[in-house]
A = this chain, B = another copy of it.
Amino acid sequence: MTALLPEGFRDRLPPFADSAAALEARVLEAARLHGYERVDPPLAEFADGLEMRLKAGGLHDAVRFVDPVSQRTLAIRPDITAQVARIAATRMGHHPRPVRLSYAGSVLKLRASQLAPARETRQIGCELIGLDSVAAAQEVVAVAVDMLGAAEVRGASIDFTLPDLVSTLAAGPLPVAPDQVATLRDRLDAKDAGAVAALAPAYLPLIEAAGPFEPAMERLRMFDTTGALASRLDALTRIATALDGRVALTLDPTERHGFEYQTWLGFSLFADGSAREVGRGGTYTVVHESGAEEAATGFSLFADPLVDRVVSVDRRRLFLPLGTPAADGAAMRAQGWVTVAALDAGDTPEAQVCTHLWVADAPRAL
């Protein structure tokens, strides 16, 4: 049998598609209750406009095509965050800050990775535009936790990072030559103690300051003898405290991968049963057309692993034998029943996976 679909694409069949839609609606409802309002940007945009708002190389793996109308290159979005930033900076630029926005949609990549083989994925997220304070981070992290809760994930945990940690230290108490900062960051991210020892041995303790939140924070505080990190560490403590033990917390202060465009805070979301992170967020900067910059805090959920399971929705299906009056079916549907009408004499409740049969004007359990 030939492959029906290209690698990295798939169909969701019953009952998974209904379940995924129901779970996604629950997840978005959690965001709505925190005041986040939906935006729905298009699947395709001008490639240059989209690229401007994506991190470096962001459009490298996007599907691009020439628009016969404008003669310009369009791209199918590989990410929605950049579109929401565009909306916040342009069409909603005049709204009072902070602006709370949520979104859900499909994104497409031309190439996938071995670890993440899907090329079409579902992205759900929230962006708080106008603030990157501790209070903003507390709210955004709480919303993320509520959304994971709405998806009923088990074993949710958050891994925090400090994306600008190395540049802060390198420009301050632990000087590093500017042309070596990127390499140092990279080697710290890789936990390559040998390379770090050769480059800047003072940074070695950072490799050890990763793991469960409390002990990692203690090591970081001991490392921060000059107090250069004090405000960041206090902020992390306040964010963690506000979570009040709702999820497990870890810290990986030098993790950089995936946080290339975050400012002082980054976090990854994990859940039992998913090999990779199920979400990622942090503080970042929205650039306006004028060049003005605006602080923002947000996160995206990589929603497929969260919604790919069958939730125990009401599975009652009522079989209406041939000749059942239409009004009877309508009355039962108005009560929330799923009705499946026989359309010819051969139809059976069994073939239609029905749980109930309409007999003598009432549903009888099968």
Cβ of A191 < 8 Å from any Cβ of B? no
Cβ of A277 < 8 Å from any Cβ of B? no
Contacting residues, chain B, for A91 (C-beta < 8 A): 4, 11, 13
| Smallest beta-carbon distance A259→chain B, Å | 22
Q: How many residues of A contact B (CB 8 A)?
A: 84
Docked-complex contact B35 and A14, CB < 8 angstroms: no
Encode A310-321 as 1/0 by CB contact (under 8 A) with B.
Answer: 000000010000
Cβ of A177 < 8 Å from any Cβ of B? no
Encode A15-44 as 1/0 by CB contact (under 8 A) with B.
Answer: 111101100010010001111011111111
Cβ of A326 < 8 Å from any Cβ of B? yes
Question: Which one of A203-211, A216-224, A266-274, A332-340 contacts B?
Answer: A332-340
Of A44, A49, A139, which is in contact with the most chain B CB atoms at under 10 Å from its CB?
A44
Cβ of A45 < 8 Å from any Cβ of B? yes
- Residue from the list B13, B49, B63, B70 in contact with A92, Cβ < 8 A: B13
- Residue from the list B65, B86, B120 in contact with A42, Cβ < 8 A: B120
Docked-complex contact A37 and B14, CB < 8 angstroms: yes
Task: State whether A42 and B111 are in contact (beta carbons under 8 Å apart), knowing that A18-B37, A86-B4 are contacts in the complex.
Answer: no
Docked-complex contact A34 and B67, CB < 8 angstroms: no
Docked-complex contact A110 and B43, CB < 8 angstroms: no
Q: How many copies does the complex hold?
A: 2
Docked-complex contact B65 and A33, CB < 8 angstroms: no
Apart from A6-B69, A11-B42, what are 10 other A-B pairs with CB-CB below 8 Å? A6-B45, A10-B42, A13-B39, A21-B40, A32-B338, A33-B336, A34-B338, A35-B352, A43-B108, A65-B110
- A sample of 30 cross-chain residue pairs with beta-carbon separation below 8 angstroms, ordered by A number, consists of A5-B42, A5-B45, A5-B46, A6-B69, A6-B70, A7-B69, A9-B44, A9-B45, A10-B42, A11-B42, A12-B38, A12-B39, A13-B87, A14-B37, A14-B101, A16-B40, A17-B38, A18-B38, A21-B40, A32-B338, A33-B333, A35-B338, A35-B339, A44-B108, A44-B120, A65-B110, A68-B110, A69-B111, A98-B343, A142-B326
